[in-house]
């Protein structure tokens, strides 16, 4: 049985931990290159200096790290487009947040992203409506293919691999760390996409680590393939970079403070 280490850290502490961890990964050299440096070699290049972000509160949006790409500026959806027709999203924008419009369809980033650290804050309706999967349902689709479930999982029973922070249909979260409906929830995600050779053979599966409200809930798991309902489609060759998608699942879910830090290719 695999053992997983669970821990909780404060908002700022988590941001610092993830920034340090991912920056180290992003600036690490491939295995062969690293061997040129001896232990404590002062000639070894130092990592770049960045300004760490600040944590959000329920009433205040935090700041991203200085090297992050901001996906939502709090004012408009200029970095996003409709998946249906490639036009402007039909989701609504409020004071520092945006929200799904039931029936309007998924939205995606105009830019494509590869291996990354992703920060997403979201909130489900309060008072809650419905039960099971019919309650505050949305989703974060890495590469537009692999869903980290968004759901009101506070005092709401559903199937385990459909709870909030599940790799939908594949891995339940290690624990249910949901906050109450209407409160802002946080995902911090480290994602490495799949790799394929020139013939289409898969060299590695996609892999994801997820912190949910500061708690480790997905511990470096290999994604089994694209997300589907009651199905498990196989991998097919895809580019190293693809847009991020957010799901319209007919529930008015809000989002704020989305930012991403790309990792160097091949790391």
Predicted confidence (pLDDT) per residue in 97-122, tens digit: 999 999 999 999 999 999 999 999 99
Angle at CA of residue 225, ends 222 and 228, nearest 5° = 130
pLDDT the model gives residue 6: 41
Cβ 200 vs Cβ 243: under 8 Å: no
Angle (nearest 5°) at CA 239 between 236 and 241: 130
Helix boundaries (H) for the chain: 11-26, 31-34
Give the Cβ contact number of residue 105 at 10 Å: 15
For residue 208, list its beta bridge partners: 191, 221
Q: How far is CA 62 from CA 10, 99, 130, 151, 239, in A?
A: 13, 19, 31, 23, 32
What is d(CA 128, CA 105) in angstroms, rounded to the nearest whole number?
21
Please, how many CA atoms are within 13 Å of residue 255, restricted to the half-sphere of its CB? Answer: 28
Q: Identify the three-state secondary structure at position 174.
A: coil
Domain boundaries, the chain: 11-29+42-262
Q: Does position 213 have pLDDT exceeding 80, yes or no?
A: yes
Residues 12, 54 contacting (CB under 8 angstroms): yes
pLDDT in tens, 128-158: 999 999 999 999 999 999 999 999 999 999 9
Query: What was the pLDDT predicted at 33?
Result: 55
Q: What is the pTM of this model?
A: 0.86
Location of structure tokens 């999967």: 133
**Can you give the pLDDT at residue 116?**
98
| Sequential DSSP letters for 102-132 | TTS--EEESS-B-SEEEEEEEE--SS--SST
One of 1.10.8.60, 2.60.120.560, 2.30.30.100, 3.50.50.60 is the CATH number of 11-29+42-262, namely 2.60.120.560
Q: How sure is the predictor about 12, in pLDDT bands with cuts at 50, 70 and 90?
A: very low
Tell me what the mean pLDDT of segment 5-19 comes to: 47
């Amino acid at each position: 049985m695999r053992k997983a280490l669970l821990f909780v850290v404060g908002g700022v502490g988590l941001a610092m931990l993830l920034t340090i961890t991912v920056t180290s990964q992003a600036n690490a050299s491939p295995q062969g290159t690293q061997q040129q440096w001896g232990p404590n070699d002062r000639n070894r290049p130092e990592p770049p200096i960045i300004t760490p972000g600040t944590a959000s509160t329920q009433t205040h949006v935090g700041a991203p790290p200085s090297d992050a790409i901001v996906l939502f500026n709090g004012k408009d959806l200029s970095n996003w487009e409709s998946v249906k027709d490639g036009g402007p999203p039909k989701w609504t924008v409020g004071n520092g947040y945006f929200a799904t419009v039931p029936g309007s369809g998924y939205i995606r980033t105009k830019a494509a992203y590869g291996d990354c650290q992703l920060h997403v804050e979201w909130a489900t309706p309060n008072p809650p409506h419905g039960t099971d999967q019919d309650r505050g349902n949305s989703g974060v689709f890495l590469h537009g293919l692999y869903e980290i479930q968004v759901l009101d999982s506070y005092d709401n029973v559903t199937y385990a691999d459909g709870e909030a922070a599940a790799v939908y249909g594949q891995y339940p979260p290690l624990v249910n760390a949901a906050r109450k409906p209407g409160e802002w929830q946080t995902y911090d995600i480290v994602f490495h996409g799949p790799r394929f050779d020139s013939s289409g053979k898969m060299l590695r599966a996609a892999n994801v680590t997820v912190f949910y409200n500061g708690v480790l809930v997905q511990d470096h798991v290999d994604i089994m393939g694209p997300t589907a309902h009651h199905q498990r489609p196989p991998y097919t060759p895809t580019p190293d970079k693809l847009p991020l998608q957010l799901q319209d699942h007919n529930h008015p879910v809000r989002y704020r403070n989305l930012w991403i830090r790309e990792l160097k290719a091949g790391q």
